[in-house]
Structure 1
């Protein structure tokens, strides 16, 4: 409980301020309202201005609050997100003005992340960004809704990853991804493309002047990269491309001739498809079921590890069977 007179309403996402009709509507209820949200360092109201006004009209001197500890810029983002998600909706003008401000205060956020907070479409946010940051040098990366930072132009990162893998075939993919500024899934795809003799950057990603400029920057950034000579064969040997291995197995008559073998081939082929689409699959996980999907992935991973160990043992002694 804090004194009402200690609170301020100075940084409010509603351009028109308090909506008197909404205040009167809330005043008609005799029940207690949930605590309002307050920025601790400034004592500014983040969410609950109308509830605060009702408390004042009721003659209350104190009101229940939850405190937010963070920057003023983050407090404004929370105010927009809170007011856009419940209670009296923000108007289009409110949301547009809020998005313009968030683009300035959080330039590293993706259009989709800002759109989710402000209640606008990603295309609208992109247009606001172009107007708001016309004189600001563009950033090469953005933070998405999941908090992960990704490059705007993946061409540069793919080319750098290709050089890193070619120069150091034994380098762990996690390190490649970190140094190239790409996801592990993208690094895996780059390694697979190199292993099959293809360019690390798909032709579709090279189109456009922006992609070409990004590719040139990657080349400039890697001119001083220490290179250890390595042949394509060495890269291919270490890559162990799942898709290539599955294609070999698909031609094996001992597997194709039995129902169990065909089932196993279908499962392995599906896993190869998962690896090839790793980036899109990870990025497409809805937040509300991410924990369930993660648990399932862990269970399946443990199953495949047991399968691998049992399969090797069966192959060696010809007697052990896989338990289900």
Structure 2
């Protein structure tokens, strides 16, 4: 037991002396502790380890976990939520903040299941913890599948598939559209009742939207409007001037911006070649990503112009 390292505990107040004393009064054999093999850090079972030491026992049963530090912490939180001395609400909330910070790719429902919180609470924790961090477009759910945060595009793909062949099994529709089986079922029911396949709160101003709480007749969705953007008269010359600006060239963030702007350059010839070379089975995915990137740059432009009081 001398090789063990104290736990990276999710308990803000540390170990509970009362719980240790309670375990000492029991004659029952202690369940195995859980140890991170790479670091020999106790993941779950510090109270049991303390009891074994106080009893003078030379060894304690243990199970080993092989994985990264973040995964080990998530496992520690899950274990302490599921059994033993329950974590307090403050402990669970702090644990969720740490998981959101180090694993932003995990969905709110997934983190909620680990920390013993509701998905709404985790969503609030995410907004509070990382207010300035760009949010990912997709997250990993409890089943390990990657799903978009905004399922609007997936719902519209599912609607097209169902309209083309109403007899297609929903499981196949869900897989092809990149949505859950439950979402595919909801899309089918909405189409049957003549409603938009995307709920009002998820339309974000796209074609087919309506007021929340009102059933809107379904129309096949078109592209989301991006606002009236005036094309720049000399894009290449502007890029050259930006690249020569020392305030951008000699800062890391400035160089990143220049690289991103340069990567967006598309002429008519390249556009035609790219379009012609997208395989038919990937058209929806590429188009959805292009729209998402366009929306992101539009939001960037709006926020940038608002700094000088000249909104788009």
Quick one: structure 1 residues 217 and 13, their matched pair in 2 at CA, closer, same or farther if it must change by over 3 Å? Answer: farther
* Structure 2: gaps (5+ residues): 210-220, 227-273, 282-312
Contact 1:5 1:61 in 2 (8 A): no
State the match for 1:24 in structure 2: 21
* Structure 1: gaps (5+ residues): 229-324
Q: Give 3-state SS (helix, strand or coil) of 1:11's partner.
A: coil
Q: Give the distance between the partners of 1:170 and 1:164, measured in 2 at CA.
A: 10
Q: Give the distance between the partners of 1:69 and 1:217, measured in 2 at CA.
A: 46
Matched, 1:72 2:75: no
Q: Give the distance between the partners of 2:28 and 2:171, measured in 1 at CA.
A: 54
Q: Give the distance between the partners of 2:90 and 2:140, measured in 1 at CA.
A: 25
Contact 2:7 2:44 in 1 (8 A): no
Residues 141-180 of structure 1 deviation map (CA, whole Å, 9 limit, x = unaligned): 3333344433322211123445677899999976764453
Q: Give 3-state SS (helix, strand or coil) of 1:201's partner.
A: coil
Specify which structure has the higher proportion of helix: 1
State the match for 1:121 in structure 2: 118
Q: CA deviation at 1:60?
A: 2.3
State the match for 1:82 in structure 2: 79
1:150 to 147, 155, 162: 147
Q: Give 3-state SS (helix, strand or coil) of 2:2's partner.
A: helix
Q: Give the distance between the partners of 1:119 and 1:155, measured in 2 at CA.
A: 28
Quick one: structure 1 residues 122 and 167, their matched pair in 2 at CA, closer, same or farther if it must change by over 3 Å? Answer: closer
Q: CA deviation at 1:53?
A: 0.6
Matched, 1:181 2:178: yes
Q: Give the distance between the partners of 1:217 and 1:69, measured in 2 at CA.
A: 46
| TM value normalised by structure 2 | 0.58
Matched, 1:201 2:197: yes
CA RMSD of aligned residues (A): 3.8
Q: Give the distance between the partners of 2:223 and 2:62, measured in 1 at CA.
A: 50
**More relative contact order, 1 or 2 (CA 8 Å, 6+ apart):** 1
Matched, 1:97 2:94: yes
Contact 2:32 2:63 in 1 (8 A): yes
Q: Give the distance between the partners of 2:18 and 2:205, measured in 1 at CA.
A: 52
Matched, 1:44 2:41: yes
| TM value normalised by structure 1 | 0.56
Q: Give the distance between the partners of 1:10 and 1:217, measured in 2 at CA.
A: 51
Mapping of residues 201-240 of structure 1, within 5 Å: 201-202=197-198, 205-207=199-201, 210=204, 212=206, 224=275
Q: Give the distance between the partners of 1:73 and 1:84, measured in 2 at CA.
A: 17
Please identify, of 95-104 and 184-193, the stretch whose mean Cα deviation from structure 2 is larger: 184-193
Q: Give the distance between the partners of 2:100 and 2:88, measured in 1 at CA.
A: 18
Q: How many residues align?
A: 220
State the match for 2:156 in structure 1: 159
Q: Give the distance between the partners of 1:193 and 1:169, measured in 2 at CA.
A: 13
Q: Give the distance between the partners of 1:88 and 1:96, measured in 2 at CA.
A: 16
Q: CA deviation at 1:45?
A: 0.7
Contact 2:34 2:45 in 1 (8 A): yes
Q: Give 3-state SS (helix, strand or coil) of 1:38's partner.
A: strand
Q: CA deviation at 1:206?
A: 3.9
Contact 1:157 1:218 in 2 (8 A): no
Q: Give the distance between the partners of 2:80 and 2:188, measured in 1 at CA.
A: 46
